Amino acid sequence: MTDHRDDEIPQWAAHELGRVIISPQELHARVAQLGAEITRDYASRPPLLIGVLKGAMVFMSDLMKTIELPVDIDFMAVSSYGAATKSSGVVRIVKDLDAEIAGRHVIVVEDIVDSGLTLNYLRQYLGARSPASLEVCALLFKEGEQRVEQTIRYTGFRIQPDFVVGYGLDVNERLRNLDGIYEFTGTP
């Protein structure tokens, strides 16, 4: 990640944002790299991408366009934050999959991994459905926040443990529509 200028912060949201963590240009370049890696790794076995709503929606939309394979998609919605800026550690399934995953190669697409508790729960939950393989593609990995050790096959960026918004990540359903990733300094 590079140093960013203040003029890259959208004026309509500037009162709630700190520094630019990842610019739109960096995001799009790294997403293309991840798509190329997945294309190479799954060339003979197109995967099912499972997006974790709502945060991974933007990332998954961009990611699937860079994968040069006939991928299938599905979505799950889980909750572990509520209205807080830290995970509660209690994971609740809000929307389950529509697709059957037994015998399929599955990639869980996550926006951010912080405590690791949600991802750990999802791995156990989905693993019980007997996929042929189960991997994770996470846009962001927060350094030093894990309460559960995680092996993530595809990681976009490692970031400091700041609360971030944009590119699908929100605070109380706000600021998902920012093109980049920004430090949130406002009031939740």
Active site residue 114: yes
Q: How far apart are CA 134 and CA 124, in angstroms?
A: 10
CATH assignment at residue 61: 3.40.50.2020
When divided into structural domains, the chain yields a total of 1
For residue 157, being part of any structural domain is answered with yes
The answer to whether residue 154 is domain-embedded is: yes
Residues in contact with 169: Cβ distance below 8 Å, sequence separation at least 6, in sequence order: 55, 111, 112, 140, 175, 176, 181
Q: Is residue 2 part of a domain?
A: no
Within a domain: 91: yes
The pLDDT value recorded for residue 19 is: 93
Domain that holds residue 74: 24-162
Instruction: Concatenate the DSSP letters of all residues of 131-144 into one string.
Output: -SEEEEEEEEEETT
Q: State the pLDDT at residue 90.
A: 74
Select which of 41, 72, 111, 114 is catalytic: 114
Q: Is the pLDDT of residue 4 over 80?
A: no
Tens digits of per-residue pLDDT, 122-156? 999 999 999 999 999 999 999 877 667 778 999 99
The two tokens of residue 114 are: 């912080």
